Structure 1
């Protein structure tokens, strides 16, 4: 039980916040539904509860992926978060389908003005504020490695979009899902205003279809990235960076093989280097310890395997020796 608690403390905080906030929003929408009897509010209520379950699912997966390797699973559980997210996108996909289906129904069968305008706007406005709070939390996780001066104030928004590709899978899902939820609240408020005070009574239907399409974009992107992550995807930009770190070592003559594999938010490095045959075992061992420490200081790197081979005088690494420091 203690191990499980320690793992849960390492889960992605933004997904936990998202689960809690969506439960609160769901309760508020439930109260609004019982007061107004609005079918659209009922759909929003179910949407919030489904999102809460989904995010809690993601939080649990991100936490369990930190579990240490065992005899049965010697490579660890890093890819578990990718498998969990593949299940999570199915939930989001079903929500997107139901949202579009409901929207199409309202386009062809608009309900017009149903009253309780300010209650609906108030609930959606509060939902917008709470979803924006979670989105801000996700932005902070996405940009945690960015220097503070570069993400001060509204600059964090641009930095979040710039670095979201490098974020861990769970944070990325929270960021994209809550981005759609925040935009969706604004779109829904505009649609309710138009349908209540203009002849455009099917505005809520079009809004629902638009939100559903945005969710499908999120589903497609998250599915493709996590399918690749579940298989074990290379990280070329980190391979280049680690290669430059390794090749600066005076004893290393060449790099025979370098692989950086991304598993969840973990990076596994496998490195085979060529050294002068005159280098002693003790010297090579000291160099390996120092190099491992340097590589592990890079963001996300959890383990490093370094092998040695005799220099065959055939250039394998792309940086010529005369251009190395």
Structure 2
């Protein structure tokens, strides 16, 4: 990693998220304004889809608050009780945000949709209010969505991966959460527009209820995707494969290293990785030489890879059967090539 990029990412950690914070703040402000507008429209029109959308925006606003908490708390310095830092707080609060989307958004929208479909017909009033609010909401939500898309593109370009690949592998759940919830919000607005329009054209509240039901199911899907992502990060996901293989190659290239026997990595937080390497050092090295080599290797890795937060190096013989068995059980084979 280039020095400038490494410095930028280190500064971003210290700033509590940098651009991620801006993305969350824009989304939170937009969702708060949109939620008030939708609630007013729902009260005037009696539309189930508008009530579902109001609940949707309320869930999104709560989500942004949780994401801001995640960004602020995750940069706390390590201490005696948490020697590896608080980076996983970002994963925890993002998981709670996913639960919030499901409980306060999806469940209410599904209930409202089913009760409208199965209940008595309600006359729709002041449909133009709903259309005006939906139009204004689309503009506000679109602004937030564009900011999220811009950050995803920038992050993907910086890591030299595609847009979808970054969303699939990122260790920053805050930006992913904002992108998915904003995308769902825009689709939800279109569904609400369709529900209100078909209700007005046909006189049947079925379409309004169906729109609300579809909004709820969509939110449940988004909550599931985000919850699964954060579950994997909380459990202790391996670092990006490119980083793992790059670290392995740097270790193997050292003249003091005979072989890299095992290499363990775990995400401690966003852009924060723990590395534990078991190394077979050249047999001619003395104890002092191995100690000095460990210090130099640690310094080299930290200088080249800004994401490495903690580095542990353990000298082991590569023919040790106990270590070899553990490696084979974990990977199936000792370090394959990146293309394997």
Q: TM-score, normalised by structure 2?
A: 0.78
Quote the residue 2:256 is aligned against.
251
Say what the alpha-carbon RMSD is for the aligned residues. Answer: 3.0
* 1:16-165 mapped onto 2 (5 Å cutoff): 16-33=25-42, 35-36=44-45, 38=47, 40-94=49-103, 95-109=105-119, 111=121, 114-147=124-157, 159-165=162-168
Quote the residue 2:214 is aligned against.
210
**Relative contact order higher in (CA < 8 Å, ≥ 6 apart):** 2
Quote the residue 2:7 is aligned against.
none
Quote the residue 2:224 is aligned against.
220
Q: CA deviation at 1:184?
A: 0.5
Per the alignment, in what secondary structure is the counterpart of residue 81 of structure 2? coil
Contact 1:86 1:223 in 2 (8 A): yes
Per the alignment, in what secondary structure is the counterpart of residue 80 of structure 2? coil
Structure 2: 5+ residue stretches without partners = 1-13, 328-333
Select between 194-203 and 120-129 the one with higher mean Cα deviation: 194-203
Q: CA deviation at 1:128?
A: 1.7
| Counterparts of 2:295 and 2:84, CA distance in 1 | 24
| Counterparts of 2:177 and 2:108, CA distance in 1 | 20
| Counterparts of 1:24 and 1:114, CA distance in 2 | 24
Contact 2:278 2:316 in 1 (8 A): no
Structure 1: 5+ residue stretches without partners = 152-158, 321-325
Q: CA deviation at 1:212?
A: 0.9
Quote the residue 2:335 is aligned against.
318
The alpha-carbon distance between structure 1 residues 15 and 282, as it changes in their structure 2 partners (threshold 3 A), is same
1:284-305 Cα offsets, whole Å, 9 max, x none, are 5334322332233xxxx14131
The alpha-carbon distance between structure 1 residues 264 and 206, as it changes in their structure 2 partners (threshold 3 A), is farther
Contact 1:276 1:310 in 2 (8 A): no
Q: CA deviation at 1:195?
A: 1.3
Quote the residue 2:8 is aligned against.
none
Per the alignment, in what secondary structure is the counterpart of residue 156 of structure 2? coil
Contact 2:42 2:51 in 1 (8 A): yes
Q: TM-score, normalised by structure 1?
A: 0.81
The alpha-carbon distance between structure 1 residues 198 and 145, as it changes in their structure 2 partners (threshold 3 A), is same
| Counterparts of 1:105 and 1:20, CA distance in 2 | 31
* 1:254-265 mapped onto 2 (5 Å cutoff): 254-265=259-270
